[in-house]
């Protein structure tokens, strides 16, 4: 998360205000405050597969049958 480290440097090192950094980067002030509060990189978890694919598969077989046999 290079962006967070750069933002921390601008605010804590160079003395820029949160508002000025938000204006220059286009990142919201609340996001910048999160970057300042937690210097560690966020840990992302792998998402679980969606259930919707199973439902579509059930209907797909039925639709193919209807299209073939009318």
Could you tell me if residue 36 is inside a domain? yes
Could you tell me if residue 1 is inside a domain? yes
Could you tell me if residue 63 is inside a domain? no
pLDDT for residue 26 is more than 90:
yes
Could you tell me if residue 17 is inside a domain? yes
Q: Report the 3 state secondary structure along the chain.
A: CHHHHHHHHHHHHCCCCHHHHHHHHCCCHHHHHHHHHCCCCCCCCCCCCCCHHHHHHHHHHHHHHHHHHC
Could you tell me if residue 70 is inside a domain? no
pLDDT for residue 1 is more than 70:
no
Mean of pLDDT values over 22-36: 93
Which range marks the domain in which residue 1 is found?
1-41
Report pLDDT for 42.
Answer: 64
Could you tell me if residue 55 is inside a domain? no
- Selected residue with higher pLDDT from 40 and 30: 30
Report pLDDT for 29.
Answer: 95
Could you tell me if residue 60 is inside a domain? no
Could you tell me if residue 19 is inside a domain? yes
């Amino acid at each position: 998360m290079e962006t967070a480290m750069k933002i921390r440097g601008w605010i804590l090192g160079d003395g820029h205000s949160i508002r000025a950094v938000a204006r220059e980067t286009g990142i919201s002030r609340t996001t910048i405050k999160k970057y300042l509060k937690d210097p560690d990189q966020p840990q992302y978890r792998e998402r679980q597969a969606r259930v919707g694919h199973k439902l579509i598969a059930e209907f797909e077989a039925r639709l193919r049958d209807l299209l073939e046999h009318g």
